[in-house]
Amino acid sequence: MTPLQRQKFKDIIESELTLLKIEIAATEEDSKPTITPDSAIGRISRVEAIQSRHIGEASVRARKARAMQLERALTLVDKEEYGLCVACEEPIPLARLRLIPEATLCVICAASLEA
C-alpha cells in the first residue's frame, strides 16, 4: 500500500468514525425513556415504545462495536500490518477495505471463519 493510499484510508476511517459518533449520539437521544410509568397511554403503545427502545439500544451497541473497530484501524493505518489479513497475511483487496476499512480479514478467510 502506498503512503497516499494509507492517507486515503485514514480519511475514510476518520469520516466514518465521525459519522458513527453522530449517529450514536442521535440514537442514544432517541432511546431515552420518554414515558413515565403513570402516563396515560394505552398498553399497546407502551409495548411499542419499549420495543423501539430495545431496537435503538441494539443499534447503539452495534455502532459502538464498529466505532471501536474503526478506532483500532485508525491506530494501525500507518503501520505495515494495516490492510494485511490477520489470518493468511495476504493483502486485503483495496475494494474490500474501501467498503470495510476496519476489516482485518481477507474475503476468503472471513468467509471460512463465518462458515
Binding positions for Zn ion, rule: CB under 5 A: 85, 87-88, 106, 109
Tell me how crowded residue 29 is: count the other CB atoms within 10 A of its CB: 9
CB 71 within 8 A of CB 47: no
Query: Which three cell numbers, joined as nine digits, stand for 70?
Result: 474503526
Number of H helices, E strands in the chain: 4, 0
C-beta closer to Zn ion: residue 60 or 101: 101
C-beta closer to Zn ion: residue 20 or 87: 87
- Minimum separation from the CB atom of position 93 to Zn ion (A): 10
- Minimum separation from the CB atom of position 85 to Zn ion (A): 3
- Minimum separation from the CB atom of position 25 to Zn ion (A): 35
C-beta closer to Zn ion: residue 56 or 93: 93
* Cα(72)–Cα(55) distance, integer angstroms: 26
